[in-house]
Structures are given as C-alpha cells and as structure tokens.
Structure 1
Amino acid sequence: MSIMFHKGDLPDDVTFTGSVAVDTETLGLKTLRDKLCLVQLSAGDGTAHIVQLDRETYEAPNLKKLLGDRNVVKIFHYARFDVAVIAHYLRVHCAPLWCTKIGSKLARTYTDRHGLKDLCRELLSVDLSKQQQSSDWGADELSDAQLQYAASDVLYLHQLQLELTKILEREGRLDMALACFDFVLVRAAMDIAGWEDMDIFSHH
C-alpha cells in the first residue's frame, strides 16, 4: 500500500480512467453542518490519493473534473452519504456510480452485516482496522494512522465491486442494483433538501 497526500487538489499528472474508488472524511455525519475535509481516491492498484481540501474555498478543479466525469465510474461504500457531501461542498454530481453497500444488501441476503470491514473480511480475507473512524479530520496535520485509515477505505473497493458483481449476476439482481445506483443521486439530493429521515415509499 502506498499513500499519496495532496493539499488542496489532485496534481495535474494524477489521472484515472474507467473507474475510481472514492471516499470522504467529514467533521461529522450531518452534511449541512459538518464540513468535508478529505476526499480519498484509488485506481484499485494499491495506491491511495488523499486530497486535503481547503475548507474556506473548496477550490479543487482537478478533483471536481474527475468526480464529474461521466466516463469514469465512481465506486463508493455507502454512496448516499459521500455523494450528498460532495454535491453540497464541491457542487459536483458523481455520476455514474457504484455502491458496494447497496450491492452487498442485494447480493448478500444471508446476512445483515454490510459494513466495509465485514465485506473485506468475508469476500477478500482482509481485516481492516477501524480505530481512526472517530477522529478529527479537520486537523491541519493528519497522523500516519489517520492517513492509513482513510486510505484503507478506498483500496479494496474495486475488488469488492468485482466479487459482488459476480453474485449479483449469478442471482439475476445486477439490473436492479444498477437502477438503485442511478437513484442514489436523487436520494442524496433529497437528504440535502430535508427528507433524510423520511421513507417516501412507505405506507405511512
């Protein structure tokens, strides 16, 4: 594993084709309150690029261009949160996308454990550390432990996508999953607009 740390934006010479794994770190879980601090990226090649954003301006033209590129699939774990926070702070709509949490819920119906750690352990025999899950991502200087945690959230998403796709295809659920991924952009927009706690499809 190698970690490349960038302040403010992706460098001009860092490019991705086909697909890119994406994750975010924020000051909390309330999108409108808790600012976006980091965006992590990986091509699935064992290297993670971590962009520490300027939270005053959110000027990051290279990163925004990548996230908005319709020719690059953005792979997330729990895309609903990341897509909303990226839309709110970076003003970018991340399409097309693939969500390993949604994929897992549609593929792995034999369990209710769909966290990234659970997926990595079962499908890839990788044991992720979640020690830094609650830490101050707004600090000017991030610790090595924080950077390693942030990197681990994107390093395995390509492999998970591959394994989950196999199950979804086998069970005839891939088209349903792809339709769900398309809806994530709408679901994230609804969260930002105030419908985050309401299931509009429920009877009540």
Structure 2
Amino acid sequence: MYTYSTIDSDKKLSDLLQSWKQRGITTIAMDFEGEFNLHIYGEHLCLVQVFDGELYYILDPFKVSVPALKQFLEDSDLEKIMFDCASDSALVRKGYDISLANIYDIRVPALALGYTGNLTGLVAMHLGVQDEVPVGNKKKNQMTNWLKRPLKDDQIQYALGDVAYLFSLKKILIALIEEKGLAEQVATTMATIAKPKGPDKPGWTKFDSWKYMNKEEKTYLKHFFIARDTIARKYNVPAVRILEKHRLLEMAKNTPSSASEIHVYCTKCPEGQMEELIKYMLEAKKSADSELKSV
C-alpha cells in the first residue's frame, strides 16, 4: 500500500514545489489519469500522480488552478519521468494550453532497446515485479470514472502504481542504452518527445479509413462528425452515445437525404435527442452539399 499526500489547492502545490527545492529534488516520476469521452463529452485531466523518490502525492486538477498547474508542468528545471507521455502531453496541451517541459519518457529508451510492450511488462522484465492487481480489477480501474469524487482508495493505489517504479527503470535503461551506444539517439528523440509532431488534427481525420475515402465521402464525414459532436457537447455525453463512429462512416459512404433515411442510422441516440440529431444531420448534409458545389 502506498502512503500519499493530497495536493488539492494552489497553496499546497506551491508548498510542495518549495519543499522540493529545499530538499534538492530536481526529478520526479509522474503520470496522469483522465476522462476520454467515456462518461461525459470530451477529454479532461482528472488526476496527477507523483513520486519524488521518497514520498507519493496525488494532485487534484479540479482543485488546483490551471495557472498553478501550468507553472508546475512547464517548469523546465524539474525533470518529470513518465511512460509514453504522448497522450498525456496532448491532453494538457489541447485542453489547458500547457506544454509539458523536461520530460524523460522511459518508453523512448525501451523502444530503442526493442521493447514495444506496456509499463507492466517493462517492470516485470527489468525489476522482476509482477503486477499484483488482478486482471479484472485492473480493467475496472482503466475504465473507471476518474471524474467522481471522492476517489476510492483502490483507484488511488492503482494510479500510484504507475509511478512507483519509474526511477528504478530510468536508471536501468540509461545504463543499457549507454552500453549499446544508443544514448545520443535516445537524447535526440527525448528532446521533442512531449511536443506535437505537427498541427493537431480534427477528429474526423483520425478515422482509420480516412486516407482511403474520396473527396465527397470526406466532406460528408466532416459535416456529420461536427453535427454529432455538437449534440454530444450540448448534452455533455460521450459522442458515441449519440452516434457511433461506424455509423458516421456508413452515412458518409451512403449519404442519407431524408429524415427517415437518417433515422435508420441513429439506433443508439436517446429518444430525447433523436429529433434534434436528425435536424442537425439534415443541416450537415446541406452544408456538405454546398461545400462540394463551391469547389
């Protein structure tokens, strides 16, 4: 069991940062828990778990202000060890205008050494520690609602487990990459690991089949996607509860032209939003038709 302190105010975070300076701590292990269109609309940072090599902390981003969080996460003098920071960095960049700074992502040296698995496997491989969380409970925690407060102790213990071994792994992996002459390659990748690879792409372009779609299909998909998400945002529900992704694709390829034809695709939409969704979809089709005609 991990003993931890809770950081639930700007003052507590400021005091923690000051204590690290006084203790000479310049590196921490860090991970996030978030909401990704599972229980409500959109992506939200729900928890920051931290280990400073001696003590554990959970930071509540619902109680700490964005400016205070930004100062902490963008501190270039404080190294943050993470595992696979890509989605976490994108989450705070897009949702909070925060650019993670001074990240050591242990997945980078792991990949350089040929390892492509998850953190649990990496810990087992190099530290001989087997995951003590039963598979069922692990899946439950991965699907948990991190928005709810208070968090249960098993949620917190699960979250802290993701930072417990990062210091030890970093030390081992650094030694291995130096032994194999990969240090320079890893350093080059690490320098930009938390930065976007390019402009953030809109959601409708992230469909696996996007690159295989023709111009008309892409245009309809874009407008149908926007209409679907407008409804989801309005009622603060996951977009898939309004209309599933595969239904959007079907509509883009076999474009409906009437309310009754649209209704056929809306099998998952709650009755209370059905009429509104059909209205938005009809308007979306008109917008797509206009865009295609103007080209």
* TM-score normalised per structure 1: 0.81
Q: Report the identity percentage.
A: 22
> Aligned partners of 1:6 and 1:23: how far apart in 2?
15
Matching residue within 123, 129, 143 for 2:126: 123
> Aligned partners of 1:140 and 1:5: how far apart in 2?
13
Check conservation: 1:84, 1:189, Cα contact below 8 A.
no
How much has 1:197 moved relative to structure 2? 5.1
Matching residue within 71, 74, 83 for 1:65: 71
The reply to whether residue 102 of structure 1 matches residue 108 of structure 2 is: yes
What is the match of residue 177 of structure 1?
186
How much has 1:11 moved relative to structure 2? 3.1
Shift in CA distance, 139/70, structure 1 to aligned 2, threshold 3 Å: same
Which protein shows a greater Rg? 2
Check conservation: 2:110, 2:116, Cα contact below 8 A.
no
> Aligned partners of 1:112 and 1:3: how far apart in 2?
31
Matching residue within 7, 11, 27 for 2:13: 11
Check conservation: 1:81, 1:188, Cα contact below 8 A.
no
Residues 157-197 of structure 1: CA deviation (Å, up to 9, x unaligned): 1111111111111111111112112222333664x344995
Check conservation: 1:80, 1:188, Cα contact below 8 A.
no
The reply to whether residue 2 of structure 1 matches residue 11 of structure 2 is: no
SS at match of 1:142: coil
Which AA in structure 2 matches 1:48? Y
SS at match of 1:74: strand
Q: CA RMSD in A?
A: 2.6
Matching residue within 19, 26, 41 for 2:34: 26
- Extract unaligned runs of 5+ from structure 2: 208-295
Which AA in structure 2 matches 1:13? D
Q: How does 1:1-204 map to 2 (within 5 A)?
A: 1-9=2-10, 10-15=12-17, 16=20, 17-28=25-36, 33-45=42-54, 47-54=55-62, 59-107=65-113, 109=114, 111-113=115-117, 115-128=118-131, 129=133, 131=138, 132-187=141-196, 190=199, 192-194=200-202
Residues 59-111 of structure 1: CA deviation (Å, up to 9, x unaligned): 1444332211111111110111111112223322112211111221112x2x5
Check conservation: 2:89, 2:195, Cα contact below 8 A.
no
SS at match of 2:192: helix
Which AA in structure 1 matches 2:30? V
Aligned length: 190
Check conservation: 1:84, 1:188, Cα contact below 8 A.
no
Which structure would you say has the larger RCO, counting Cα contacts within 8 Å and 6 or more residues apart? 1
Check conservation: 2:81, 2:166, Cα contact below 8 A.
yes
> Aligned partners of 1:188 and 1:144: how far apart in 2?
37
How much has 1:28 moved relative to structure 2? 2.1
> Aligned partners of 2:83 and 2:60: how far apart in 1?
20
